[in-house]
Amino acid sequence: MDQNETLFQRARALIPGGVNSPVRAFRAVGGTPRFVQRAEGAYFWDANGKRHIDYIGSWGPMILGHGHPRVLEAVLQAARDGFSFGAPTEREVELAEAIVRHLPAVEMVRLVSSGTEAAMSALRLARGATGRSKIIKFEGCYHGHADALLVKAGSGLATFGHPTSAGVPAEVVQHTLVLEYNNIAQIEEAFATHGRDIACLMIEPIAGNMNFVRASVPFMQRCRELCTAHGALLVFDEVMTGFRVGLGGAQAHYAGLIPGFKPDLTVLGKVIGGGMPLAAFGGPRAIMEQLAPLGPVYQAGTLSGNPVATACGLATLEAISQPGFYEALAQRTRSLVEGLSNAARETGVAFSADCEGGMFGFFLLPALPQNYPAVMKSDAPKFGRLFHGLLDRGVYIAPALYEAGFVSSAHSAADIEETVAAAREVFRTLG
Ligand code: PLP
């Protein structure tokens, strides 16, 4: 009897779709989700006891792999000292210090429990600090499930968006303008039309929620210039890219390409919690001091800065700050991307791939797409066959076309080789 299927049946009886977050349900690829029994290093074992090489890593947080000894020790020690106090602790200060040390754009930081909460709070702060209502987001970028951010493009550029979820009133998204990623003409027009009303432009600088699409340098530069010229805040959603594409996140990457570049606000999550529920948002002192209890923008949380989560995040940040960590991680990730690309070429499969630090993406398309409509041209049934072929061979990638993948420091050269060999076999069957 397939234990994954048995568990899925039990789960579906009580939990909508059998899962506590929709993408886990395998709806995009069909089949039965794997229920994880335990994980260690680069692997997890499912309910049947089958081992998988894990390229999801909890959707990004597990940059050290599962059960890193020093992180585990820090978490156990913190748990012994108490789970939650609802009062401040030294570790919150230490984590804030660690974040600020690595991100020059962040002078102050507020800890929260999820990326959704961090993005929602950053948005409220941007609106509160500017006294404006309108916001810009981009089609294909995901910033969590706050109402104002669950929006798709309206019928024309100058019109505001439509909700992408039932339960979000049209009035709630009437201030959200949804534009095409990497389209400079559209942001110019949007600022020309609405400039004095725009509180912020929120962007995934390397968009991991349409698999892997980089903001072009001219586009990013124009986003910065227009925000500055119109008094809007540039908000970098680095929930996925923060401490993942490099120690300084995507903002350090763009600062290396655009002299003096900095976002105004930064949204963080995933890696900073090392697998525990922890996220954050931060920025310049003058803006962050608008938050309660100092300022008029309200924001709070019972479990914010949780002592066990902060211990996990701190131990993770300490491990990834060691010299050479990102060079080794990037090298391993590149070897995966190159191996997959070569295997696709040998077997005649249209394929394009990209990576930065420990994050990668690939498309069953001959060239890397630059925006959401181009990503949507991917062949979904073919991806489903690739996904299941890999899964059968013990390689676990995201069960959806539009999701980035993650390599951890626990992935060995042998893991990458095994993955590429599995992919080569599956590519041969794709035709
Ligand atoms: N922002 C980005 C870029 C994300 O990738 C995600 C989640 O995947 C979120 C925000 C929301 O984070 P969470 O799932 O922790 O609420």
What spacing in Å lies between the alpha carbon of 25 and ligand 1's midpoint? 17
C-alpha span between 337 and 394 (Å, rounded): 18
What spacing in Å lies between the alpha carbon of 116 and ligand 1's midpoint? 6
C-alpha span between 62 and 65 (Å, rounded): 5
Give the residue from 209, 330, 233 showing the smallest Cα distance to 288. 233
Asked whether 148 and 175 are in contact (CB, 8 A), the reply is: yes
- Residue of minimum CA distance from atom 12 in ligand 1: 115
- Please give the backbone phi and psi of residue 265, each rounded to the nearest 5 degrees, phi first: -110, 150
pLDDT, tens only, 117-170: 999 999 999 999 999 999 999 999 999 999 999 998 766 655 678 889 999 999
Q: Which residues are catalytic?
A: 142, 237, 270
Ligand 1 proximal residues by C-beta, below 6 Å: 59, 114-116, 119, 142-144, 204, 208-209, 237, 239-240, 269, 279
Give the residue from 86, 112, 88, 87 showing the smallest Cα distance to 99. 112
pLDDT, tens only, 85-123: 999 999 999 999 999 999 999 999 999 999 999 999 999
Q: Tell me which residue has tokens 């599956």.
A: 426
For a mutational test of ligand 1's pocket, the pick from 114, 116, 206, i.e. the residue with the most ligand atoms closer than 8 A to its C-beta, is 116
User: Which residue stretches of the chain have pLDDT < 50?
Assistant: none
DSSP state of 140: T
In the chain, the domains with their CATH numbers are: 69-319 (3.40.640.10)
Task: Count the Cβ atoms, other than its own, within 10 Å of residue 224.
Answer: 19
C-alpha span between 50 and 396 (Å, rounded): 11
How confident is the model at residue 161, as a pLDDT? 81
Task: Count the Cβ atoms, other than its own, within 10 Å of residue 291.
Answer: 21
Tokens of 16: 């909508």
C-alpha span between 417 and 420 (Å, rounded): 5
Q: Which residues contact 10 (CB under 8 A, 6 or more apart)?
A: none
Task: Count the Cβ atoms, other than its own, within 10 Å of residue 212.
Answer: 26
Asked whether 359 and 241 are in contact (CB, 8 A), the reply is: yes
**pTM, to two decimals:** 0.97
- Residue of minimum CA distance from atom 15 in ligand 1: 115
